[in-house]
Amino acid sequence: MTKSLHVHLLPSLVAPEVFAGRAVVVIDVLRATTTIVHALASGATAVVPCLEIEDARREAKRRGTAALLGGERGGRAIEGFDLGNSPEEYSPARVAGKTIVMTTTNGTRAMLRCRQARRVLIGAFVNFSAICEALRDEAGVDLLCAGTDNQVTREDVLFAGAVVDDLVQTMAAAGATGGALELNDQGLIALDAWRAAREDMRQSAALVDKLRTSHGGRNLIDIGHDRDIDIAADIDRFSIAPELQLTSWEIR
């Protein structure tokens, strides 16, 4: 089998039709995808991604008392919403048994571009190995970085590079039976970035230092959400690979 593995450093760099028939991983390490993984690991029934604040309000109203509204604009909680976008807010006590109707500036927006995909997975460092495992037998994979306000972000590129690295190594280890890999240039860029960062991490700096100095990391520090960066850097805290069900439009 030839595996086609394509990284997209921003949603605007790829036409939605490209995803048709393929498995897409949406990546917004700081913080939407990290928070969604936390919510589901805490027992939330589902997360429903919405584009606009008003769409989310309508959807939550339709779902009644089982729904909670979550998300952010400019990193801050939205007026009248139950939850912001900090992973820690999504504790079992708060979200177990609830459906989270969520809208964020970039992360949920990126998900809305994936309607034509065959599968849509939600990836972040907190569920890194589960995502790699879910992609093992997929022939066509796209890693979609959400970025921030149409700017490429380091944290999303590093995660994409880490997934590429894992898949490259797994295929190499399998030898001739592993098949061939077709990787786009954005995938090679992400792989180089991750390998350089990993080398540095072996010497001294931890992943959290890389995330702190990223654009998204600096934004979070500015608005007093430093702790969310530590949480986002907690590799493999969870072993779930949430998937956006394309017919019901729920992440489970």
Instruction: List residues near ligand MLT by CB under 6 A.
Output: 28, 30-32, 72, 75, 85, 104-107
Q: In the bound complex, what is the minimum distance in angstroms from residue 250's beta carbon to ligand MLT?
A: 18
Closest to ligand MLT by CB, 107 vs 242, is: 107
Cβ proximity to ligand MLT: between 30 and 60 the closer is 30
Please state the closest distance from residue 107 (CB atom) to ligand MLT, in A. 3
Q: Which is nearer to ligand MLT, 98 or 109 (CB)?
A: 109
How far is the C-alpha of 197 from the C-alpha of 81, rounded, in Å?
37
Q: How far is the CB of 9 from ligand MLT (least distance, A)?
A: 15
- Of residues 166 and 228, the one with the C-beta less far from ligand MLT: 228
Please classify residue 50 by burial: count the beta carbons closer than 10 Å to its beta carbon, then call 0-12 exposed, 13-18 middle and 19+ buried.
buried
What is the DSSP pairing of strand 244-245 with strand 180-183?
unpaired
The nearest distance, CB 220 to ligand MLT, in angstroms, is 6
Cβ proximity to ligand MLT: between 5 and 47 the closer is 47
Q: CB nearer to ligand MLT: give 171 or 231.
A: 231
Least distance (Å) between residue 131 CB and ligand MLT: 17
Distance (Å, whole) CA 33 – CA 43: 16
Shortest separation between residue 199's beta carbon and ligand MLT, angstroms: 27
